[in-house]
Amino acid sequence: MKFVLQYQQKPLAGLCAFDVLHEVTGFNAAGVLDAPGGLKTDQVNHDTQILNIQKRKNMKSSLRNWLIAIIVLLLLVLGKWQPWRGKTKGESSLAGRMGATPVRVMVIKARPLENTLTLSGTVMANEAVSLKSEIAGKVTAVHFREGTRVKAGDLLLQINDADLQAQMARAKLNLQLAQDIESRQRQQLAIESVSQEAYDTALNRLNTARAEVQLIEAQIAKTRITAPFSGTIGLRQVSEGAYVSAASPIAELVDYDPVKIEFAVPERYAARIRVGEQVRFHIQGQDQIYEAGIYAAEPRINQETRSVTLRARYPNANGAILPGAFAEVTVPLSRIEETVLIPSQSLIPELDKQKVYLVKSGVAVPKFVETGWRSNEEVQIISGLALGDTLITNGVLLVRPGLPVQIAQVNGAGGVQ
């Protein structure tokens, strides 16, 4: 049921408070709303809520308008915004630079390309031997210092040879006696005072005495350990007074001037490498690159590894390279005098194509290229790039075609270009 609030023009004079309340609100003196004279409670609450919502909306709208007006006023006062004046050239350039993507680039230049093969190798001594005794005996003297250089023939160690020296003295006496007998028998044979048989017997005794002396000399020589070649002697394993047996190690003698570099080449490359060619190698822990010449190769292919073993020689006059070290050997296969090489990270694979990004007029421009030889660091470009092009080398994943870029570094030289 709808109730319409009707206001009746009545003079308020002479009315009591209850009459005024009943006339305006519809409530009677008992606090009950009369249907004809006032609204029901639910309808009053509903209208009140609508009025409150409308008031809040008006307040928010007014507050927003005030905030916009304040911001505009501040910008006008500070001079930061002048809508009636267009952007200057400097401001436009600054805005462009602030929105550009910083990249590193390189200028394309022709360089030589050497197709090489990198292999693992081992440094070997020119000569190396483990000094050992051939006979058993007591060490009577050590004639070398550890870690020093010795010459071929130098006496290094002496083993007791007293018994052999005594045998030598007896053998020499027997030899002298045999020589005297042979001399007299030869004279007697000349005048036919003795038979030929008697002279032959004397001559045989002389030859036997001589052989006995030579045998003892050989045994005495085994008690003297000498250097078989010039080189550096290592740490000794025996001391004076020690008893050594046959094959007991005494020390290491090494000649590492020059050194040899041994490496194996896969079968498919064996025909492309010749004796006399130069190879490069470097040793772990050293920055220097050395060059050595190949001087020998195995005459057959190893059936287990399917490779050919080669050796190169390097003059190690200063002793900077020690035998046994690991060597990374670089073997040249072919050489191109002029070609285009770019860093591997600047190349972007795209399905069956490869592309790069160039900088032209301050924006990134994609370019499809054809590649050739490649390594972990560089890629050869056969076609697609011209000398003088500016190639993006770092930041290629951040650029897109037509995107403004800012050059931060060129060819490794820092600074804004």
In a domain, 52, yes or no: no
Q: What stretches of 79-161 show up as alpha helix (H) in DSSP?
A: 89-99
Question: How high is the pLDDT of residue 63?
Answer: 73
Q: Residues 6 or more apart from 153 whose CB is under 8 A from it?
A: 226, 227
Q: The pTM is what?
A: 0.58
Q: What is the pLDDT of residue 2?
A: 39
pLDDT of residue 48: 65
Q: Give the Cα separation of 281 and 84 in Å (integer).
A: 71
The Cα 152–Cα 169 span in angstroms is 29
Res 50: pLDDT = 66
Assess whether 170 and 213 both reside in one domain: yes
Examine residue 22 and state whether it is found in any structural domain, yes or no.
no
**What whole-number distance in Å separates Cα of residue 179 and Cα of residue 175?**
6
The answer to whether position 149 is within a domain reads no
- Can you say how many angstroms the Cα of residue 64 is from the centroid of all Cα atoms in its chain? 63
- Nearest partner of 329 among 300, 297, 373, 293, judged by Cα: 293
For residue 371, the cross-strand partners are 381
Number of domains composing the chain:
3
Three-state SS for 285-339 is CCCCCEEEEEEEECCCCECCCCEEEEEEEECCCCCCCCCCCEEEEEEEEEEEEEE
Please report whether residue 180 resides in a domain. yes
User: Domain check: are 356 and 326 in the same one?
Assistant: no
Which two structure tokens, joined as six digits, stand for 278?
A: 């130069």
For the chain, how long is the longest CA-to-CA vector? Answer: 201
Neighbours of 132 (CB within 10 A): 15
Q: Could you tell me the mean pLDDT of each successive run of 10 residues in the chain, 417 residues long?
A: 40 44 46 44 57 67 75 64 46 51 90 87 95 93 94 95 94 94 91 89 94 95 94 94 90 95 94 91 92 94 93 93 94 86 90 90 92 86 91 88 88 43
Answer yes or no: is 142 within a domain.
no
Nearest alpha carbon to residue 227 among 158, 160, 155:
155
Are residues 380 and 403 both part of a single domain? yes
Give strand pairing partners of 85.
Answer: none
Identify the CATH number of the domain in which residue 267 sits: 2.40.30.170
User: How many residues are given for the chain?
Assistant: 417
If asked whether residues 365 and 293 sit together in one domain, one would say: no
Q: Which of 300, 335, 370 is the last residue of a domain?
A: 335
> CB of 3 within 8 A of CB of 35?
yes
Q: Is the domain of 256 the same as that of 330? A: yes
Identify whether residues 259 and 215 lie together within a single domain: no
Q: What is the CATH number of the domain that holds 178?
A: 1.10.287.470
Q: Which domain holds residue 365?
A: 101-109+347-414
Q: Which two tokens stand for residue 45?
A: 């609450």
Q: Residue 236's pLDDT is what?
A: 93
Q: Is residue 5 part of a domain?
A: no
Position 317, amino acid: A
Of 335, 358, 373, which marks where a domain is finished? 335
Residue 54: predicted pLDDT = 67
pLDDT at 36: 44
CATH number at residue 406: 2.40.420.20
